[in-house]
Structure 1
Amino acid sequence: MAKTALLVMDVQRDVVELADDGSGYLPRLRTAIDAARSAGIPVIYVVMGLRPDVPDAARSTRIIRTVEEAGLFTEGARGSEIHPDVAPLPGETVVTKRRAGAFSGNDMDLVLRTHDVDHLILTGIATSGVVLHTACRANDTDLPFTVLSDACLDLDPEVHRTLTEKLFPQWAEVTTAASWAESIAR
């Protein structure tokens, strides 16, 4: 029987510190995580992880240079850990990616097939990064998805608004964490 999975993407300590605007992002995300767990929906965590000295990324790439200069996403660094307010439970899957999208340089396809997943619920930081790249991949491969707009966050609120109100609705359902949690509790 095919099913839905909740993806919690790039909600790592350093990223939360940079992006959290004090609007209650982590509690909203926690609402979605708790609802998924209660409904038996797999929660799959996706983290960005670059090896120290970044041997797996071309420094000629602007975003990789920016990430490296900021000291973000280094495997094993405390700042690269999943934020403790939304940390995985023992047995929940954590997938490490090497680029922006949840499917980049990892076994995400295998993880989804193993769980018989045919619908994704997207959350994470940043809306213009991991959420957008993952949405593009899902859209290109005809994998249905839903975006929880208030369980996504971006450094640029206008970009977040444009993506969640204009682009993503062309491809998928866009709703809030509370509305989604209520819909799966029925």
Structure 2
Amino acid sequence: MSSTALLVMDVQNAVVHRYPDPDYLPRLASAIATARAAGVPVIYVGVGFRPGFPEVSPRNKMFGPMAGRAGGGNDDQAMAIHADVAPADGDAIVTKRRVSAFAGSDLDVLLRAREIDHLVLTGIATSGVVLSTLRQAADLDFRLTVLSDGCLDADPEVHRVLVEKVFPAQADVHTIAEWEPKVSNG
């Protein structure tokens, strides 16, 4: 029997602020409501670091500029999940240390413990966390669905190419309105 979870990835205040789309959060909120109504667990994944960013190598092109800076950690309001799609009681929150939701996190352990084998992916950015997580999850033999309008990217053409040409090789791709979660958890 298949068990499904909705992953809401990198929808943190600082990230949402960089991707202004007034329709995105309401769309994502509707996907979260659909999942909850169907009994599908919602798992939030966000990037976070300890104070001083000791996990970040200066060689890392994306995160390297943070290395050695003061601040960081998970208490920073900028890194909190955006209030419009905030976790509910009982939702799992996973902290990752790199782009993929699996990198430096306990996501795989959490999914295996809950016997989840089907992931529904949403998040910011399509070319970042969604792409990296999809590739790693496929290699870990998860069944995958991507909610195309539950993802957002700074470059609309990159988003289009990924959801129309790249992701279908490893995942089913649907809009939020098309997605019908199967109540097979249990």
Query: Residues 68 and 158 from structure 1, CA distance in 2 versus in 1: closer, same or farther, beyond 3 angstroms?
Result: farther
Map 1:70-109 to 2 at 5 A: 74-109=73-108
Q: C-alpha deviations, 1:79-124, integer Å up to 9, x for none? A: 1000000000011100000000011111111110122101000000
Q: Is the 8 A contact 1:72 1:80 kept in 2?
A: no
Correspondence 1:6 to 2:3? no
CA contact (8 A) 1:73 1:79 kept: no
Unaligned runs of 5+ in 2: none
Following superposition, the deviation at residue 2 of structure 1 comes to 3.4
SS in 1 for 2:178: helix
Report if aligned partners of 1:20, 1:153 keep a CA contact under 8 Å in 2: no
Q: TM-score, normalised by structure 1?
A: 0.91
Matched, 1:15 2:15: yes
Q: Is the 8 A contact 1:29 1:151 kept in 2?
A: yes
* Distance in 2 separating the partners of 1:73 and 1:127: 24
Q: Whose helix proportion is higher, 1 or 2?
A: 1
SS at match of 2:173: strand
Cα distance per residue 1:3-30 (max 9 Å; x no partner) = 10000000000101111323x1011111
**CA shift for structure 1 position 73:** 6.7
RMSD: 2.2
Superposition deviation, residue 74 in structure 1: 4.6
Distance (whole Å) between structure 1 residues aligned to residue 44 and residue 82 of structure 2: 11
**Partners of 2:72 and 2:31 in 1: how far apart?**
24
Contact 1:103 1:134 in 2 (8 A): yes
**TM score, norm. by length of structure 2:** 0.91
Q: Provide the aligned length of Structure 1 versus Structure 2.
A: 183
Correspondence list, 1:19-98, <5 A = 19-22=19-22, 24-66=23-65, 74-98=73-97
